[in-house]
Amino acid sequence: MAEETLVMLSENFYDVTQYPLGNPYEDIGSVINSIIADIKSRQAVSDQNDGGKPGAVIYIPPGDYRLVTQVVIDVSYLKIVGSGHGFTSSSIRFNTPADELAQWREVWPGGSRIRVDMSPHAAGEAAGAAFYVKRTGNPRISSVEFADFCIDGLHFMDDGSGQNDAENSYRNGKTGIYVGSANDSFRITGMGLIYLEHGVTVYDADALAIDNNFIAECGNCIELKGMGQASRIANNFVGAGYRGHSVYAENYGGILVSSNNVFPRGASSVYFSGVVRSSITGNRFHSFYPGMLVFAANCCENLVSSNHFLRDREPWAPMQKYDNGLDDLFGLLHIDGSNNSVIANHISETMDTQYIKPLAAKPVIINVVSGSGNYIANNHIVATTEMSQINDAPNSACFSTQVGALLSTDNLKALEVTAVRVQRGSVRNTVLDSGSVEQVEMDRTANAFRGTPVPGQSSAEFH
């Protein structure tokens, strides 16, 4: 009986290193495609004894596996799983002098690591995807899972900008996971994605869960496109490059973005376009640029609450020449839309005045550019300035430089900012206790306002 049970359990379990066709170390893509073909040939009946197509598990043991052939997934209930996300910083590696690098204990990501060695030349967004998920017909493809392995894009490429700094370009045409058709209940958990122009791109998702991953040093990290609903992005470490978004969503409803730690080099921490009735709560956002949180294209009825926002300047010399192209009048939080709630967030900005753009401008923290009925209340805004402590030595340690800058709170002085700006034409908004009378710019005949009390002033002075 035990032997029969073992056979039944192993029938739909595949180890890429034990599969008889192909060599996973030379091209794991070809091996996984062969496995999927085998699953389809064995599970050909859609309804047999109230079952018929249980799917399978494909296991990737720890090791390095080259991917030359794109994996195409068109079956439901498939889990591809490894034994370690293997993430380590390639950005630090590529910006470390060769003599120091020679002393490193390891120099590449590890774990169950897939090395994406494709050279995407074909047209189309999906051409450079390591894993391409797409199926037509009904029902939607469902319950495809990626768990606990590393997808490494290896290198970025010269983008023709003249910077002569290919490994910091965030361009290579490669995508880790690309889902191109309507899907239901997908899960991406425990993954490590690095040095990809696009980490995860998913179209038309329903009940998607992207949880507990390390997706960083990618041009764009998480992108939800097309349209979708009821999805979750939670407990991830995320960090895009200066040209892309750490978390991006368009035309979605009911997204939960919670408990993520978002690193500072992305052009935005969260960028919503046409997103409605979604929640951004309990995250820690850090950015070197304005435009940390952007609501574009009439985002409505979203909740932004209990987040920590920090904006400061890039302290690490190799990356100081890059930015996202926005100036400080754009706003750390930039809102185009109606009936959104921005409540009880802690927002910190620490900038040397010499780096503010345009020079001598008052940085804008929350910028409501259009819409009505937005409710902005009880946000604690801390704006400070100090003389730069940046270590400009090219070989200064990234970790110690960045952590030292982050922990520095000595000798801070108040920085004059516009805490909230409500642009003309945006009406019936409410701003409560999110800045003093002097810090809030709005038409108070068309919007409601109560200023944050200032010590030494009477209550009559801030109503």
- Whichever domain contains 186, its CATH number is 2.160.20.10
Q: What is the reported pLDDT for 3? A: 47
Q: Which of 213, 195, 118, 199 is nearest to 155 (CA)?
A: 195
* pTM for the model: 0.92
**Helices vs. strands in the chain: H and E counts, helices first:** 6, 43
Give a yes or no: residue 211 inside a domain: yes
Note whether residue 227 is domain-resident. no
Residue 407 has pLDDT above 90, yes or no: no
Say if residue 205 is in the same domain as residue 290: no
- Assess whether 199 and 95 both reside in one domain: yes
- Please indicate, yes or no, if residue 250 is contained in any of the structural domains: no
Lowest mean pLDDT among 37-46, 157-166, 247-256: 157-166
Q: Are residues 198 and 321 in the same domain?
A: no
Tell whether 191 and 71 lie within a shared domain: yes
* 429-448 confidence digits (pLDDT tens): 999 999 999 999 999 999 99
What angle (nearest 5°) sits at the alpha carbon of residue 298, between those of residues 292 and 303?
60
140 with 184: CB under 8 angstroms? Answer: yes
Mean pLDDT of 345-363: 95
Binned at pLDDT 50, 70 and 90, residue 386 comes out as: confident
Distance (Å, rounded) from C-alpha 448 to C-alpha 431? 6
Please tell me whether residues 287 and 158 are part of one structural domain: no
Peptide bond into 318 cis (omega under 30): no
- Say if residue 389's pLDDT is above 70: no
Neighbours of 146 (CB within 10 A): 26
Sheet-wide strand order for 380-385: 63-67, 112-116, 150-152, 192-194, 214-218, 237-240, 261-262, 284-287, 308-311, 346-350, 380-385, 413-414
Confidence of residue 159 (pLDDT cuts 50, 70, 90): confident
User: Residue 39 is part of which domain span?
Assistant: 1-44+56-218
Measured in degrees and rounded to the nearest 5, phi and psi for residue 92 equal -65, -40
CB atoms within 10 A of CB 143: 15
Confidence of residue 4 (pLDDT cuts 50, 70, 90): very low
pLDDT over threshold 70, residue 222? yes
Alpha-carbon gap, residue 104 to 398, rounded angstroms: 14
Report the number of distinct structural domains present in the chain: 2
Instruction: Tell me: pLDDT of 1 over 50.
Output: no
Q: With a cut of 90, say whether residue 127 has pLDDT above it.
A: yes
Q: What mean pLDDT comes out for the span 28-37? A: 98
Chain segment 41-63, per-residue pLDDT in tens? 999 999 999 988 999 999 999 99
The closest alpha carbon to 256, from 286, 277, 227, 284, belongs to 277
Domain boundary among 192, 218, 244: 218
Asked if residue 240 belongs to a domain, the reply is: no
Q: Is residue 234 part of a domain?
A: no
Residue 15: inside a domain, yes or no?
A: yes
Residue 68 lies in a domain: yes
Residues 195 and 314 in one domain: no
Q: Is 50 exceeded by the pLDDT of residue 243?
A: yes
Domain stop point among 218, 242, 259: 218
pLDDT in tens, 200-210: 999 999 999 99
Q: How confident is the prediction for the chain on average, in pLDDT?
A: 92
In this predicted model, what pLDDT tens digit does every residue of 289-300 receive, in sequence order? 999 999 999 999
